[in-house]
A and B are shown apart, each in its own frame.
Chain A
Amino acid sequence: MATADVDTAQTNGNGKYKVIGTRPIRHDGVDKVTGRALYGADVKLSGMLHAAMLRSPHAHANIKSIDTSKAEALPGVRAVVTNADLPEVGDRIAELGEGAVNLRHLSCNVLAGPKVLYKGHAIAAVAAENIHIAKEAVGLIDVEYELLPPVLDVREAMEDSAPILNDDVRTDTMGELGNTPTNIAAHFRYEKGDIEKGFAEAKVVVEREFDTATVHQGYIEPHNATALWNKDGHITVWTSTQGTFSVRQQVAELVNVPLSKVKVIPMEIGGGFGGKISVYLQPVAALLSKKSGQAVKLIMDRSAVFEATGPTPGSYIRVKMGVDAGGKITAAEAYLAYEAGGYPGSPINPGCMCIFACYDVPNGKIDGFDVCVNKPRTNAYRAPGATNAAFAAETVIDEICDELGICPVEFRLNNASKEGTRRVDGVEYPVIGMADTVEAIKSSAHWQSNLEGPNRGRGVASGFWFNCGLKSAATATVNADGSVSLIEGSTDIGGSRASLAMQLAETLGIAAEDVNPAVVDTDSVGYTDVTGGSRVTFATGIAAYEAGMDIRRQMIARAAEIWDVDADQVRYEDGTIIGPESSYTFKELAELVIKTGDPVTGRGASSAANQGGAFGTHCVDVEVDPDLGKVKILRYTIAQDCGTAIHPSYVEGQMQGGAVQGIGWALNEEYFYGDDGSMHNASYLDYRIPTCYDVPMIETIIVEVPDPEHPFGVRGVGEVPIVPPPAAIANAINNAIGVQMTELPMSPPRVVHEILKKNS
């Protein structure tokens, strides 16, 4: 049978779409405003037990012994597990889609042994008839510790005299392993051009050092897992996660069963931002279920979320940049050391690749170090590694602009990366919108307005994030009433059911409301990588588009059969199937599908496509209280290249939410540690994420430079908006009071300290 003209679906271009660019009510919306949506903690199963966790009170210690006998003897207790119940997984590396993990480190992070590496490190778990008995039993577990000195600062941890956390860690310098145990797990280096020649050509060279504090993703829903290890050896896990297939793999590896024995059912997820990819509770709940023979639910409390999950690294960064008299960058050099937490794996490599990514740097050198310290094992947080790096590079740029008397917006336009620019790490850019975002800020009402008043200042900064492609699968089935059921595996963290349904609807020429999207378990859809890397609307979007194209082919073939004509005489146009003499609307043919042959189910997938990268430029006005050091955000505007905005409201929402997380990171969020390595502010009240009283409205400018890798030009939008805020705010503070901040957060005591230093 001839294949018909199905490859002419909508391509790039704005204003030509019917569904894309509109703002329909999200498909899961009513459930979420009526309290009916079921999140991880809402799972209830017959005979379900409740579990609680014992966590280390020490930041660094050897575990000499664990005695669980008193806990086991408490009436109502059904099972207790420790690290001894986890199978030996060996020194293997598992590829988890968005990054690899050493399984032994992951296993020891899930239940500690033989050492605890941070306060809050999980040690044992108890399942009991109710949560109160489980908590009481946790208090009956006796652990004998041999205390070791903790090391909390990245530079101290790099010294030869520092306490060593992991005796199996050797420095990996571009594939070569060192000989001695160390806290420096990896050293990355990127070089381009001739750095010395570049600095020699510069008129102004500025070098600065920066420190940034550990911060947390801060999702409102704590981690959770409910597991049933059935008598037939099958394990079912109900959990809120950014990646069901990633959880399936991690659980299978850690409890040592074949992949096929684990099914992960995604519950609604109450925020993740990168922090709900790694497993914490899922394997423990599974082991407790195996031991007790019943389903077990395990939920983290908020202090454990702070002390034992996330965070994103604190860091030390040094940046040196040279610029010639014409305002062109001649050379840039950076040294970055990121805290990995207890086990290796900080986002140091992306940090290195992002630090100068917005600009055409002819001569560059970047060194990056992944360093273990006695803090929780770090995890991805929205553009992981990029925000720390941008804070350093983007504030150095503003200092140079001040010295040269160049407008910071003009400087960014003059040096912006564009198609063909080669980054210091070697990657050459495809079509990108960096300069377009700066232009958008330049012509914005915000930038054009005057800012008046004492202690007020304006700052701008740009940011980059790669975005990724990875693998997604989807199927779509035509229903007799003309609706289409979309089955996909990307857990919906912020409206992706809508953005995927809209792309399928656009492909088929039907309404967004006529698509019913469903996020299903790991047995019910093809392999799909995590909801991360700003990839879902891009890659699962391609899968939905391909499933739609598959449906179009089948609908054309079916119509040709009904009309008894060749398929190449039938075309699909705007939701209508048109033959030589007659036509069907999608709905009319859908009704005939079941009556005339096989059901129509389309299949789509994506793996080869990769994204061109996302850029954003932010502009902020602040007012600094010179006595208290408090910084108030007066006005905030974001311009971001979104490729093609599928659902503009949720695109704006990503930009606004990312920026406010960045504002929190900039102004007040940090882990306060005592010398003993205990976190002193492990609650929302003391950690203090922004409330709605702390921020103004966030103005958004959607810039659309379509990504040619995607049929509709989508670029991921989720991550890059967190990158510029700390730098933009630092630049605004400098503009307001002439003080250059080099530490995050720029909290009132630090701002006052810098003001006093300047005045003395």
Chain B
Amino acid sequence: MAKKRVVSTTINGNQTEFLCEPRQTLLEVLRDTLNLTGAKEGCSNGNCGACTVLVDGRPVDSCLVLAVEIEGADLETIEGVACSEALHPVQQCYLENAALQCGICTPGFIMSTKALLDENSSPSEDDIRFYLAGNLCRCTGYDKIVRAVQDSAELMASNGIDGVQIDR
């Protein structure tokens, strides 16, 4: 077995170093080494999008990236989306629209939604459906997810990315 390597990266704004084997995927290291289990494993071959994280702002399937590849990268996971006091507008809109049922795909969808809205602040329904086609949901039929993304775009247009306090 190859020796472990040290990888330096920024995760959710924090400078982080970790040890990993060269064969370990980013998803495995996030979940098993760094205790960031919000990224989910649905297929391990990039088909389902449940493990989506943002690497330098781009959505990637963390099951398809080796952990050693993110040396020097800026990584954002679902754990870093809400600020300490409040939810991100995207999270809030997913909740208000009941855009989740079982919730296993939700972290991946929220990361992809965030990336979409960073690229295109007022996407059409077709833009949304095309962009999110790499994230699979088997529960909702996507209707309420698309509406959540539309609402997120509106909320962010009026409020920016200021968090929303949730009364729960």
B101–A34 touching, CB < 8 Å: no
What are 5 A-to-B residue pairs whose CB atoms are below 8 Å? A35-B37, A268-B102, A302-B42, A652-B98, A654-B101
Docked CA distance A311–B139 (Å): 17
Docked CA distance A683–B48 (Å): 10
Main secondary structure of the interface of A (DSSP, over half): loop
Any chain A CB within 8 A of the CB of B133?
yes
For B31, the chain A residues whose CB sits under 8 A away are 41-42
Could you say which of B65-73, B74-82, B154-162 contacts chain A?
B74-82
B45–A685 touching, CB < 8 Å: yes
A34–B139 touching, CB < 8 Å: no
Name the residue on B nearest A688 (C-beta): B47
* Chain B positions 31 through 67: 1 when the CB is less than 8 Å from some CB of chain A, otherwise 0: 1000111111111110110100000000000000000
B167–A34 touching, CB < 8 Å: no
Name the residue on A nearest B125 (C-beta): A697
CB distance from B54 to the nearest CB of A (A): 13
CB distance from B74 to the nearest CB of A (A): 18
Contacting B at CB under 8 A, from A633-662, are: 647, 649-650, 652-654, 656-661
A39–B45 touching, CB < 8 Å: no
Interface range on chain B (Cβ under 8 Å from partner):
35 or more
Docked CA distance A695–B141 (Å): 8
A269–B141 touching, CB < 8 Å: no
Contacting A at CB under 8 A, from B83-138, are: 87, 91, 94-98, 100-107, 110, 125, 128-130, 132-138
Any chain A CB within 8 A of the CB of B142?
yes
Name the residue on A nearest B90 (C-beta): A33
Docked CA distance A270–B128 (Å): 23
Any chain B CB within 8 A of the CB of A261?
no
B39–A657 touching, CB < 8 Å: no
Any chain A CB within 8 A of the CB of B153?
no
Could you say which of A20-28, A428-436, A589-597, A598-606 contacts chain B?
A20-28
Any chain B CB within 8 A of the CB of A220?
yes
- Where the two chains meet, the residues of B that have a C-beta atom closer than 8 Å to any C-beta of A are 21, 23, 31, 35-45, 47-48, 50, 77-79, 81-82, 87, 91, 94-98, 100-107, 110, 125, 128-130, 132-147, 166-168
Interface size on A, residues (CB 8 A): 61
Docked CA distance A222–B94 (Å): 23
B91–A493 touching, CB < 8 Å: no
CB distance from B97 to the nearest CB of A (A): 7
Return the contact of B98 from the options A30, A41, A495 (Cβ within 8 A).
Answer: A495
For A656, the chain B residues whose CB sits under 8 A away are 140-144
- Where the two chains meet, the residues of A that have a C-beta atom closer than 8 Å to any C-beta of B are 23, 25-30, 32-39, 41-42, 44, 132, 217-222, 268-273, 299, 301-302, 493-495, 513, 647, 649-650, 652-654, 656-661, 683-685, 689-693, 695, 697-698
CB distance from A496 to the nearest CB of B (A): 10
For A695, the chain B residues whose CB sits under 8 A away are 141-142
Docked CA distance A271–B140 (Å): 11
Given A32-B100, A39-B40, A683-B47, A218-B23 contact (CB < 8 Å): no
CB distance from A471 to the nearest CB of B (A): 23
Name the residue on A nearest B144 (C-beta): A653
A493–B101 touching, CB < 8 Å: yes
Given A132-B23, A270-B102, A685-B47, A222-B144 contact (CB < 8 Å): no
For B91, the chain A residues whose CB sits under 8 A away are 30, 33-34
For B168, the chain A residues whose CB sits under 8 A away are 25, 27, 29-30, 513
For A684, the chain B residues whose CB sits under 8 A away are 42-43, 45, 47-48, 136
A30–B40 touching, CB < 8 Å: no
For B140, the chain A residues whose CB sits under 8 A away are 653, 656-657, 660
A697–B103 touching, CB < 8 Å: no
Return the contact of B43 from the options A268, A513, A657, A683 (Cβ within 8 A).
Answer: A683
Given A35-B79, A494-B102, A698-B37 contact (CB < 8 Å): no
A697–B136 touching, CB < 8 Å: no
B38–A34 touching, CB < 8 Å: yes
CB distance from A125 to the nearest CB of B (A): 18
Return the contact of A220 from the options B37, B38, B42 (Cβ within 8 A).
Answer: B42
Given A271-B138, A684-B47, A692-B78 contact (CB < 8 Å): no
B95–A221 touching, CB < 8 Å: no
Given A270-B104, A692-B129, A26-B138 contact (CB < 8 Å): no
For B78, the chain A residues whose CB sits under 8 A away are 34-35
